[in-house]
Structures are given as structure tokens and as C-alpha cells.
């Protein structure tokens, strides 16, 4: 079977439609986030441009296109201008294999989960280049932080993806969703859903993991020096990625477009899938409105000492259950037991260093009080002598 | 249906990559056409809260994450092995299953070793 010119034209038409769809989704998220955060903080949010402020992100986009494009004099110009593309394009390309319903995807690849993992890793290079090429201290620092963070949280994300592949027996999102026709996987492996959500938050650099973007520490990290359309592309990539995490969570854990009461007609199925994705996305915004930022060492130890071991435990439990053909409720049991064990260990260990330090201070304080005060009068007398 | 439409799959991927670059390139072009251009020395200095910045950001750097990056490489290579295994471990001989469990165990031990050695502390 050979590829004709017509195929290529149709692929291009589909890709243009996909760019448009992802841009519209991203723009809708900008509005949703500002409005939702506003309501969380007891203020109305954007409400001037258009009904309910709906046109605010459009106005922002137009403003960004009209803004002068400034780059620092000493920056590496080519890398500086290519870096936003290297962040946006990999995250956009992943969308071509995201099925909105059974038959509505640009291309249902057989290996779509692997494709997602492979391409989403690429954008780390873009963030690092953006940070390095701007020749600003803050952006270089932010770029290095981003590399450390994204690399660390990639592992639990990949391991959970492998777990879901093992559970469904297929790397295609369509097959994974079809396998959840009766029971969504969040009921079977709740721990995996939690881990995927947390690792996803870190991968897109949202609060509490916005350590490489932190305004109060590295003033926007790799994005400090960007303005105009280049900054807008970063912004679009960020919101596209946010919705991607929502969509992936919906596909892998919430049953995508399917629900347990029979098959839905195509438009309703798309609506259901989008509802689930928006639900997870709003959850991400809610986390942003609620939690403070982690410290960088806390972030690294959370990734390496909690998420990675737990994700491997999840993988092994799923694989063992499948291999020995245990009933599926044992999977839920094992997942919840692991979660409970981890929570118990965490509450036991969490305060341990602080408690040890408090104990040390208490001991030291006793020693200080036991010291005799010998020179209490002497310095005062000396001072009087010196002044006279 | 492996094989069927394989070429079309990857042609679509290539076309999507090109369209992604082109769409954002169009945005850059629009910006270049629409935006004013009034360069000045002060605009071209890197950001430093309004004061003159010190030496370049490209001075020598203590890349603290390089051990993490090496560990990541190990896990990423492992993922390449794990993906096909996760697809076929039910259909192949059972020693494939046990061998991969052993492999995961060794890697997990590796993480514990790195932890014990203090590599996972951010200093």
C-alpha cells in the first residue's frame, strides 16, 4: 500500500484542523482558569471583554501579536527563536493520536501510548534550550531546574503508562478505552491514577510543581526574556499540555468516551470525553488555587523516594495479578493497601527530622541554662572606665 | 491490524510535525509584520530588576541534576524494554515474566542503593 498525494493533502487538512482545535481548547482553558481561580479567591475574574469575559483570551492573543519582540543582546538568537517551537510541536504532535471518540482521531496509531511517551519527552530539550539561550541568569537557572524536574517525573509517568498497557494488553488508546467499557480503571488501580495525576502536574509545571517557572524565585524561569508571539507559543503549549494531562487521565483511568450503560452516539460520546477531560483539568486548576509551591529538594525527594517506588510497586502488582489470573478485585485491594501503607509511612516519617531537631534544641537549652554567668558585672565596669 | 496503513501513519506524523512548525511560524511572521520595532540598548540587556546585570548567565554552572539525569537514562532504556514486554508477557513462556521481574527488582535495588548513597539528596 503506497501513500498517494491525496492522502498527504488529507493529512495536512486534518493537521490544520487539529492545530485549530488545540488552539481553541487552549484559549478556552485560559478563560476557564482565570475565571475559576477568580471565583476560588472570591473575585469575579475577567468580565469586561465579551459576555462573561469570554473574549478576554482572544484580546490577549491579539495584544501579544502586536507586541514588540525583544530578545537580549548577548542571547544565542537561533536557539532562542527555535526553542518555543521545540516546546510546542512535540506536545502538539501527541494530539494526533488522542481519540476523541472511537473513530475521531487524526490517526489511531497502534503504539499510541508509546508515541505519547516518546514525543512528550522531547519538549524537555526545548525548555532547557529556551533557558540556556537567553543568556539571563534567571532563565539559565530555570532551565536547569526544569531539566531536573521534568526528567525526574518522566519516570513515574512512563511506568504508570506501561502499567496501563499491561492491564489493557494493548498500546492503543482505543483498545484501552474499550477495555474499560464496564469498569473504568480508576476503580481497579486508584493508586496509579493518583500517581499519574501528580506526575502529570509536575510534567506540565503547574502549581505545586511550578518550581522552574517560579515568579518569586527565578522570575518566570526559561520564559523571562520572551515576549510577543514567542511567549504566546509557550503559553499555548502550556495550556495544550494541561488539557493533554486531563485527556490522558480521562482516557487511561476514567473510561474516555465510554460509560457503563451501553454505547453512546458519536456526538454524545465526544461530549462525555470532553466533560471528563475538563473535569480533570478543573481539578488541576483547583490544586493551583489551593497548594503552595514545593521547595526544590522536597520536589526531587517526592519524585524519587515516593512516586518512583510506588509506581514500580503498582506495575508489579498489576503484572502479577494478570499473570496468575487473580480476580480483579484483588487489584483494587492491593492498590488501596499500597496507598494506605504509603500514607501511613509518610505520616510516621514526615515529622521525624523536625522532632529530632526539637529534641536536640531542648537538650542544648538545658546545657545553656546550666552554665554559670561569670562575667556579668565585669564588662559594665570596663565600659564605665573606658568612657571616663 | 499491524502493517495496514503503517506508511500512512508515519506520513501523517511527519505532516503534523510540519503543520505544527508552520502554524507557529505563521504566528511569528504575523508578529514580525504587525509589531513595532524600536530597538535600544536598554531593551537588549537581560532582565535584572531594572539594574545593570552582572556577568552573563553563561558563567560556569554546578549542574546538580546530572546524577539524576544518568539515573533517568537507565530508567528510560528500561522503559524501552518494558513496553513490548507489557504487551506480550501473557502470551509467551513464563520465564519471560520472571526474567523481567528480576530485571525490575535489580533496577529497584539500584534506586535503593542510590538513595542509601545519598545521591537522591538535592544539595
Asked if B82's CB is within 8 angstroms of A162's CB, the reply is yes
Q: How confident is the model at residue B3 (pLDDT cuts 50, 70, 90)?
A: very low
Q: What is d(CA A322, CA A212) in angstroms, rounded to the nearest whole number? A: 39
A225 in contact with B, Cβ within 8 Å: yes
Give the rounded percent of residues in chain B with a pLDDT score beyond 90.
5
Q: Tell me which chain B residues have a C-beta less than 8 angstroms from the C-beta of A74.
A: 46, 56
Least Cα separation, residue B118 to chain A (angstroms): 11
* A5 close contact with B: CB closer than 8 A: no
Distance from CA of B84 to the nearest CA of A (A): 9
Cβ of B97 within 8 Å of Cβ of A323? The answer is yes
pLDDT, one tens digit per residue, over A252-309 is: 999 888 887 777 788 888 899 999 999 999 999 999 888 888 888 888 888 888 899 8
Answer for the pair A98, A109: CB distance below 8 angstroms, yes or no: no
Q: What is the pLDDT of residue A293?
A: 86
What are the structural domains of chain B?
6-116 (1.20.58.1610)
Would you state the pLDDT for residue A8? 83
CA A343, A344, A349, A351 dihedral sign is: positive
The answer to whether the CB of A105 falls within 8 A of the CB of A98 is yes
Write a three-state SS string for A247-315: HHHHHHCCCCCCCCCCCCCHHHHHHHHHHHHHHHHHHHHHHHHHCCCCCHHHHHHHHHHHHHHHHHHHH
pLDDT at A384 over 90: no
pLDDT per residue over A155-194, tens digit each? 999 999 999 999 888 888 988 888 888 888 888 888 999 9
Cis peptide before A124 (omega within 30 of 0): no
Name the least confident of A42-46, A97-101, A240-244, A358-362. A358-362
Where b means 16+ CB within 10 Å and e means fewer, A356-383 reads eeeeeeeeeeeeeeeeeeeeeeeeeeee
Sequence-ordered alpha helix ranges (H) in chain B: 6-34, 66-88, 94-116
- Read off the DSSP letter of residue A46: S
What is the pLDDT at residue A378?
53
A104 beta partners: A101
Cell triple for residue A89?
510541536
pLDDT at A4: 79
Would you call A140 an interface residue with chain B, using a CB distance cutoff of 8 Å?
Answer: yes
Q: Assign A350 a pLDDT band (cuts: 50, 70, 90).
A: confident
Rounded to an integer, the average pLDDT of A311-334 is: 88
> Which pLDDT tens digit goes with each residue over B95-116?
888 988 999 899 888 888 888 8
The chain-wide mean pLDDT, for chain B, equals 81
| In the predicted structure, residue A380 carries a pLDDT above the cut 60 | no
Closest chain A residue to the Cα of B101, Cα to Cα? A316
Cα–Cα distance, A108 to A98 (Å, whole number): 8
Q: Is the pLDDT of residue A385 over 70?
A: no
Reported residue count of chain B is 123
Contact criterion met (CB below 8 Å) for A31 and A54 = yes
Distances (CA, A) of A154 to A20, A58, A202, A304, B72: 28, 33, 9, 11, 8
Disruptive mutation site among B3, B16, B78, B90 for chain A (greatest number of A CBs within 10 Å) = B16
Residue with cell 562575667: A375
Burial class (CB in 10 A: 0-12, 13-18, 19+), A76: middle
The secondary structure element, H or E, covering residue A73 is none
A81-105 mean pLDDT: 88
* Helix or strand (DSSP H, E) at A145: helix A137-168
Size of the A and B interface in Cβ pairs below 8 Å: 221
- The pLDDT of residue B1 is 38
Amino acid at each position: 500500500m503506497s501513500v498517494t498525494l491525496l492522502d498527504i493533502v488529507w493529512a495536512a487538512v486534518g493537521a490544520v484542523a487539529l492545530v485549530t482545535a488545540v488552539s481553541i481548547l487552549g484559549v478556552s482553558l485560559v478563560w476557564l482558569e482565570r475565571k475559576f481561580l477568580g471565583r476560588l479567591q472570591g473575585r469575579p475574574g475577567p468580565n469586561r471583554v465579551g459576555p462573561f469575559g469570554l473574549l478576554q483570551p482572544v484580546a490577549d492573543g491579539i495584544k501579544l501579536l502586536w507586541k514588540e519582540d525583544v530578545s537580549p543582546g548577548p542571547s544565542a538568537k537561533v536557539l532562542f527563536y527555535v526553542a518555543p517551537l521545540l516546546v510546542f510541536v512535540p506536545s502538539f504532535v501527541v494530539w494526533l493520536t488522542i481519540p476523541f471518540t472511537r473513530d475521531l482521531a487524526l490517526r489511531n496509531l497502534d503504539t499510541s501510548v508509546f508515541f505519547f511517551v516518546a514525543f512528550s519527552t522531547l519538549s524537555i530539550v526545548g525548555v532547557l534550550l529556551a533557558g540556556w539561550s537567553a543568556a539571563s541568569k534567571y532563565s539559565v537557572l530555570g532551565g536547569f531546574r526544569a531539566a531536573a524536574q521534568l526528567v525526574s517525573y518522566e519516570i513515574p509517568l512512563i511506568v504508570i503508562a506501561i502499567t496501563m498497557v499491561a492491564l489493557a494488553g494493548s498500546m492503543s488508546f482505543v483498545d484501552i478505552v474499550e477495555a474499560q467499557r464496564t469498569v473504568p480503571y480508576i476503580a481497579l488501580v486508584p493508586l496509579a491514577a493518583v500517581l499519574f495525576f501528580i506526575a502529570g502536574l509536575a510534567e506540565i509545571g503547574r502549581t505545586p510543581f511550578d518550581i522552574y517557572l517560579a515568579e518569586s524565585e527565578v522570575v518566570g524561569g526559561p520564559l523571562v526574556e520572551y515576549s510577543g508571539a514567542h511567549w504566546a507559543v509557550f503559553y499555548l503549549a502550556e495550556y495544550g499540555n494541561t488539557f493533554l494531562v486531563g485527556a490522558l487521565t480521562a482516557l487511561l483511568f476514567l473510561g474516555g468516551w465510554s460509560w457503563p450503560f451501553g454505547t453512546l452516539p458519536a456526538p454524545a460520546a465526544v461530549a462525555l470525553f470532553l466533560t471528563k477531560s475538563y473535569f480533570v483539568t478543573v481539578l488541576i486548576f483547583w490544586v493551583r488555587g489551593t497548594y503552595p509551591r514545593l521547595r526544590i529538594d522536597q520536589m526531587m525527594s517526592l519524585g524519587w523516594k515516593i512516586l518512583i517506588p510506588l509506581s514500580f510497586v503498582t506495575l508489579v502488582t498489576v503484572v502479577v495479578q494478570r499473570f496468575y489470573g487473580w480476580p480483579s478485585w484483588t487489584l483494587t485491594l492491593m492498590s488501596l493497601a499500597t496507598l494506605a501503607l504509603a500514607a501511613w509511612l509518610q505520616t510516621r516519617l514526615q515529622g521525624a527530622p523536625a522532632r529530632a531537631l526539637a529534641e536536640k534544641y531542648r537538650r542544648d537549652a538545658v546545657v545553656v541554662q546550666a552554665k554559670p554567668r561569670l562575667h556579668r558585672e565585669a564588662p559594665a565596669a570596663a565600659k564605665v572606665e573606658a568612657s571616663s | 491490524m499491524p502493517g495496514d496503513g503503517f506508511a500512512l501513519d508515519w506520513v501523517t506524523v511527519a505532516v503534523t510535525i510540519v503543520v505544527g512548525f508552520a502554524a507557529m511560524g505563521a504566528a511569528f511572521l504575523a508578529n514580525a509584520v504587525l509589531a513595532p520595532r524600536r530597538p535600544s540598548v536598554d531593551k537588549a540587556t537581560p532582565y535584572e530588576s531594572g539594574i545593570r546585570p552582572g556577568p552573563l548567565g553563561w558563567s560556569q554552572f554546578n549542574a546538580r541534576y546530572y546524577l539524576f539525569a544518568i539515573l533517568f537514562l537507565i530508567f528510560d532504556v528500561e522503559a524501552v524494554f518494558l513496553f513490548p514486554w507489557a504487551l506480550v508477557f501473557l502470551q509467551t513462556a513464563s520465564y519471560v515474566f520472571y526474567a523481567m521481574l528480576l530485571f525490575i527488582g535489580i533496577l529497584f535495588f539500584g534506586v535503593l542503593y542510590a538513595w542509601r548513597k545519598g545521591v537522591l539528596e538535592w544539595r
